A and B are shown apart, each in its own frame.
Chain A
Amino acid sequence: MISLSYQSLSRFALVLSFASPCLLGQSAGTPPQTTNLTVQTPSVPRQASKANTGANTETYPPELVKNGQATFGQNCGFCHGKDAGGGESGPDLTRSQLVSEDVKGNKIGDIVRNGRPEKGMPRFNLPEMDLAAVVAFIHDQKTKAENQKGGRRGVDVADLQTGNLEAGKKYFAANCASCHSPEGDLKGIASRFQGLKLEQRFLYPRDAEGKVTVTLPSGKQFTGKLAYKDEFVIGLKDNYGWYQSWPISTVKFNVDDPAEAHHTLLTKYSDDDIHNLMAFLQTLK
């Protein structure tokens, strides 16, 4: 699915914050740090790439890989493809950042066991041996995919170079500049995201956080990050990191969703607009 980089980053950030008592203490003691957690995440992949080399040089016994292939096919293949190269709704795992960060299942295991309900991935209750085999299979497929000669399935940065830079610049000025600035919030965006990830991100930034102000009947107001909203309950996370919720029927609220403008553009883009915009955003290194 979308925004793989974000998924893996946030997961990584989460793991970090719980794995290290020091970090955890920090965020509990100094509340504003919690708010900054997602802002800091772009710097994470460089640290993570150390783990990356470890995972990639790891080899797995053929028997384990073979077992993993069977279990993977049975449980994961429908969404991620039988070869782990992507299928209905699930991303290409051979190009997944999380997989490249994984060492012997320390990341993949988490995802398999807990699922990602918010992304539509169910949790799987696999015995440890099966899980180890699935991990071996995924890494083996990744190695195979990377060593494959010639073109391969998936979207390469080179595939996305059909746009016109000048036209993209114009499109940006006319449609994006009211919220974004190449010298401001988007400075260096092309260094942080490339290719498909950059394109997915500008089409719709799934991790953009909405803000909400809730007004109680007494007139008392609460402001924070929108944390939950269905037809019946609204929840926010305040500046101290505390979650609070109210029945929607008893309060007034106002949501400011910065991603809504991206949704509106989806209804208007031509394919050329997207490729041109890509050409321009790629220059913001």
Chain B
Amino acid sequence: MNFSRPFISLATGLALATSVFSQGLDPAHLLNPSKDSWPGYHGDYSGMRHSPLTQITPENVGQLSLAWAYQTGQVTNLKATPLLVNGILYFTSPDNVWAVDARSGHQLWHYSYPANKGFHIGHRGVSMYGDWLFYTTPDAHLLALNAKDGTVRWNVTLADSHKGYWSTMSPLVIGNHVLVGVSGDFDNLSGFLRSIDPETGKTQWQWNSVPPAGTPDSTTGGMTWMTGTYDPDSKLLYWGTGNPTPVLTGKPRPGDNLYTCSIVALNPDTGKLVWSFQPSPHDTHDWDAVETPVLYDGEFSGQPRKLLMQASRNGYFFVLDRTTGKSLLTKPFGPVNWAKGVDKDGRPIPNPDKEPTPDGRLIAPDEGGLTNYRAPSFDPKTGLFLVSAKPSYSIYFSKPADGAYGWSGADYSVWSKSVLEAIDYKTGNIRWEHELGPGGAGAGVLTTESGITFTGDAHGNALAIDTATGKTLWHTGTGTNIQSSPITYELDGRQYVLIGSGGVLYAFSLPENAVPKTSATDQ
């Protein structure tokens, strides 16, 4: 199967709902998204965030200019990836969902969730099935909204926010399953992934990352706070799980702490675990392994392989055979000093001397990690995995007085900078680096078939970079740090690049007179 989209296979074998998808989103569309859509968090199921669009090229990208900007009027930073379905963009912040015309940027509707006491740390976006949008809330509910007007169809509780759960993630829709995860690092809570019926809100199945809280010598944690990926051929979904709790103290939870800091392959119809791989066994540094598990079918060591790649928060780049979960490559993509080496299964071996102590340990990377939730991208033409990295050092402390609940220690970042890394997936070597400035840059990455990489730097510049060489082709100052991942689509023969920065969603395109006129897109 060629994963560089479109997906060839249409035989999903999954039960599709019987409703008529006249104007909404048929889940079959997610298997083969059209150029005038971005129907899921990652665009397609692969997590590559690589677009086939070629109107904007390295030669003409210098002319890229503002098509429109949508002002949310809020101080909250946009961290969401917008959906684009039938010419309408849907995007979010905590307690807010907007529907905006993708051609003009004017608002169609705005939904506000009632005031609540959940964590308002960020929001990644909605997902869609038929006429319905699925939105997770700061107090860990899942809403089904009518995509036509933003009215609530149903509202179900995912977890008890009073215990310390919240949710920020964009659900993954596979057939008639809406897959949702939860967050909750400040309490000893159990993570889970739940499959929900898109029509009724009823639970279809639930996979728990860890044993129930209170199990002796066991761990809690393993939150499922980012969107996974899916391979329709092998019918497996891939999901990353978060750190164990207590976070910075490992003693009360001996062993590897499965399935925290893991990549798991599950059957989407049953939630049964097929395989797992653990990037950070017995983590004591808050390094969730929730970064996108990117799927690609390509050559590895001379053989065609079905691959899964992750640039993990703990500083290692992993390549797995995604049919078995077996490691093919493990290599750091920046400074790391916490492991004694890599074991026979490709897992870093944590150095006990680098667990937090009362007098402190110098650790690379810092708690935010060598990368975090903003999406990476994979460019098949060059074989480059592009990730916004944050080389960093920090000091980690933990003492018995910190107890064994929640955070259980303290850590302080000492130094960091941002670099866009172009990793050769076959070797893990860095082919080029592009400096993005001091501190964290934070923007996600998008690549296009024409050879452009879109991202942002630590100063708030949106950048278009030559994927082959790492050289800057275009930039514009957006006014503040870009905390979201860019997307692209083509409407009426015109390619747009969307970048959310601060509370503003910017749409860039080539000037109208530079684009050949075509008739309206047939929807």
Which positions in A face B, CB cutoff 8 Å?
1-2, 70, 73-75, 77-79, 81-82, 85-89, 91-92, 117-118, 120, 122-125, 150-155, 159-162, 196, 199-200, 203-204, 230-232, 262-263, 266-267, 269, 271, 274-275
B71–chain A nearest beta-carbon distance, Å: 14
The answer to whether B407 and A159 have CB atoms under 8 Å apart is no
Chain A residues within an 8 Å CB radius of B286? 88
The answer to whether B368 and A74 have CB atoms under 8 Å apart is no
The answer to whether B481 and A2 have CB atoms under 8 Å apart is no
Instruction: Point out which of B185, B361, B402, B410 has the most chain A C-beta atoms below 10 A from its C-beta.
Output: B410
Is B134 on the interface with A (CB-CB < 8 A)? no
The answer to whether A231 and B461 have CB atoms under 8 Å apart is yes
Question: Taking A74-B119, A160-B360, A203-B395 as contacts, is the C-beta distance between A89 and B413 under 8 angstroms?
Answer: yes
The answer to whether A120 and B440 have CB atoms under 8 Å apart is yes
The answer to whether A2 and B414 have CB atoms under 8 Å apart is yes
Is B359 on the interface with A (CB-CB < 8 A)? yes
Chain A residues within an 8 Å CB radius of B412? 1-2, 91, 196, 200
**Interface size, B (range):** 35 or more
The answer to whether B407 and A231 have CB atoms under 8 Å apart is no
Task: Give the interface SS of chain B, mostly helix, strand, loop or mixed.
Answer: loop
Task: Give the interface SS of chain A, mostly helix, strand, loop or mixed.
Answer: loop
Query: How does the 8 Å CB contact mask read for B107-118 relative to A, with 1 for contact and 0 for none?
Result: 000000000111
The answer to whether A266 and B407 have CB atoms under 8 Å apart is no
Known: A74-B119, A78-B121, A200-B412. 20 other contacts (CB 8 A): A73-B119, A82-B164, A82-B186, A125-B75, A151-B399, A153-B403, A153-B409, A154-B410, A155-B360, A196-B412, A203-B393, A204-B393, A230-B461, A231-B437, A232-B475, A266-B362, A266-B414, A266-B415, A267-B335, A274-B395
Which positions in B face A, CB cutoff 8 Å?
74-77, 116-121, 138, 164, 185-186, 286, 335, 353, 358-362, 364, 367-368, 393, 395, 397, 399-403, 407, 409-410, 412-415, 435, 437, 439-440, 457-459, 461, 463, 472, 475, 480-481
The answer to whether B186 and A122 have CB atoms under 8 Å apart is no
Chain A residues within an 8 Å CB radius of B358? 159
The answer to whether B395 and A199 have CB atoms under 8 Å apart is yes
The answer to whether B185 and A74 have CB atoms under 8 Å apart is no
| Bound CA span A117–B415, Å | 16
A3–chain B nearest beta-carbon distance, Å: 9
The answer to whether B399 and A200 have CB atoms under 8 Å apart is no
Chain A residues within an 8 Å CB radius of B120? 74-75, 78
| Bound CA span A73–B120, Å | 9
Can you name the residue of chain A whose Cβ is closest to the Cβ of B95? A74
| Bound CA span A269–B335, Å | 13
State which of B75, B118, B185, B335 has its C-beta within 8 Å of the C-beta of A88. Answer: B185
Can you name the residue of chain B whose Cβ is closest to the Cβ of A266? B393
The answer to whether B399 and A159 have CB atoms under 8 Å apart is yes
The answer to whether B414 and A155 have CB atoms under 8 Å apart is no
Please give me the 6 A-B residue pairs with the lowest Cβ-Cβ distance, nearest first: A151-B401, A78-B121, A230-B459, A162-B359, A204-B415, A266-B393
Chain B residues within an 8 Å CB radius of A271? 353, 359-362
B21–chain A nearest beta-carbon distance, Å: 37
| Bound CA span A162–B399, Å | 14
Total number of residue pairs linking A and B with CB closer than 8 Å: 123
| Bound CA span A75–B75, Å | 12
A194–chain B nearest beta-carbon distance, Å: 15
Question: Taking A89-B367, A117-B481, A199-B360 as contacts, is the C-beta distance between A155 and B410 under 8 angstroms?
Answer: yes
Can you name the residue of chain A whose Cβ is closest to the Cβ of B118? A74
Chain A residues within an 8 Å CB radius of B362? 203, 266, 269, 271, 274
Chain A residues within an 8 Å CB radius of B437? 230-231
| Bound CA span A108–B480, Å | 22
| Bound CA span A117–B82, Å | 24
CB-defined A-B contacts under 8 Å, sample of 7: A73-B117, A152-B401, A153-B410, A230-B457, A262-B415, A267-B335, A269-B362
Chain A residues within an 8 Å CB radius of B395? 199-200, 203, 274
The answer to whether A274 and B360 have CB atoms under 8 Å apart is yes
Chain A residues within an 8 Å CB radius of B393? 203-204, 266
Question: Taking A2-B412, A74-B118 as contacts, is the C-beta distance between A159 and B186 under 8 angstroms?
Answer: no
Question: Taking A92-B410, A275-B359 as contacts, is the C-beta distance between A263 and B415 under 8 angstroms?
Answer: yes
The answer to whether B400 and A159 have CB atoms under 8 Å apart is no
Chain B residues within an 8 Å CB radius of A152? 401
The answer to whether B75 and A122 have CB atoms under 8 Å apart is yes
Chain A residues within an 8 Å CB radius of B480? 117
Chain B residues within an 8 Å CB radius of A91? 412
The answer to whether A120 and B439 have CB atoms under 8 Å apart is yes
The answer to whether B368 and A89 have CB atoms under 8 Å apart is yes
Chain B residues within an 8 Å CB radius of A263? 415
Instruction: Point out which of A122, A124, A262 has the most chain B C-beta atoms below 10 A from its C-beta.
Output: A122
The answer to whether A232 and B415 have CB atoms under 8 Å apart is no
Chain A residues within an 8 Å CB radius of B407? 81, 85-87, 153
| Bound CA span A267–B74, Å | 41
| Bound CA span A86–B286, Å | 14
Chain B residues within an 8 Å CB radius of A117? 480-481
B422–chain A nearest beta-carbon distance, Å: 16
Can you name the residue of chain B whose Cβ is closest to the Cβ of A4? B412
Chain A residues within an 8 Å CB radius of B359? 159-162, 271, 275
The answer to whether A74 and B117 have CB atoms under 8 Å apart is yes
Question: Taking A88-B367, A155-B397, A271-B361 as contacts, is the C-beta distance between A77 and B414 under 8 angstroms?
Answer: no
| Bound CA span A88–B400, Å | 20
Chain A residues within an 8 Å CB radius of B414? 2, 200, 203-204, 266
Can you name the residue of chain B whose Cβ is closest to the Cβ of A158? B358
Chain B residues within an 8 Å CB radius of A74? 116-120, 138
Chain A residues within an 8 Å CB radius of B403? 153
| Bound CA span A274–B75, Å | 40
A165–chain B nearest beta-carbon distance, Å: 15
| Bound CA span A54–B424, Å | 59
A162–chain B nearest beta-carbon distance, Å: 4
Question: Taking A74-B118, A232-B475 as contacts, is the C-beta distance between A87 and B186 under 8 angstroms?
Answer: yes
A99–chain B nearest beta-carbon distance, Å: 16
| Bound CA span A269–B361, Å | 10
Instruction: Point out which of A74, A81, A151, A162 has the most chain B C-beta atoms below 10 A from its C-beta.
Output: A74
| Bound CA span A122–B480, Å | 10
The answer to whether A70 and B117 have CB atoms under 8 Å apart is yes
Instruction: Point out which of B364, B399, B472 has the most chain A C-beta atoms below 10 A from its C-beta.
Output: B399
| Bound CA span A29–B335, Å | 47
Chain B residues within an 8 Å CB radius of A77? 119, 186
Chain B residues within an 8 Å CB radius of A161? 359
Question: Taking A74-B138, A87-B186, A89-B413 as contacts, is the C-beta distance between A150 and B401 under 8 angstroms?
Answer: yes
Question: Taking A87-B407, A154-B410 as contacts, is the C-beta distance between A231 and B457 under 8 angstroms?
Answer: yes
Can you name the residue of chain A whose Cβ is closest to the Cβ of B183? A78
| Bound CA span A196–B368, Å | 20
B456–chain A nearest beta-carbon distance, Å: 11
